Structure 1
Amino acid sequence: MQRRSFLKLGLLGACALAAGGAAYRALRGPAPPGRFVL
């Protein structure tokens, strides 16, 4: 079990989620309230 790789995977997933949210906002305009909120 490698904790470091798991941590890196989680960080990568969080970055991908944030990038996806930003791209969605850029394409669709302002997101509805309560969506993509950290």
Structure 2
Amino acid sequence: MELLPGQVAVVTGAASGIGLAMARRFAAEGLKVVL
């Protein structure tokens, strides 16, 4: 999947584990993250 800056990622379970890692990676890639 191609991630583009400005897209919005909705991440559930972002308090720890895989969800947290995904939220951090998405933010680093320039996506807006909703937890």
With the shorter chain as reference, the TM-score category is: 0.3 to 0.5
Is the helix fraction higher in 1 or 2?
A: 1
> TM-score by structure 1 length?
0.40
Is the strand fraction higher in 1 or 2?
A: 2
> TM-score by structure 2 length?
0.43
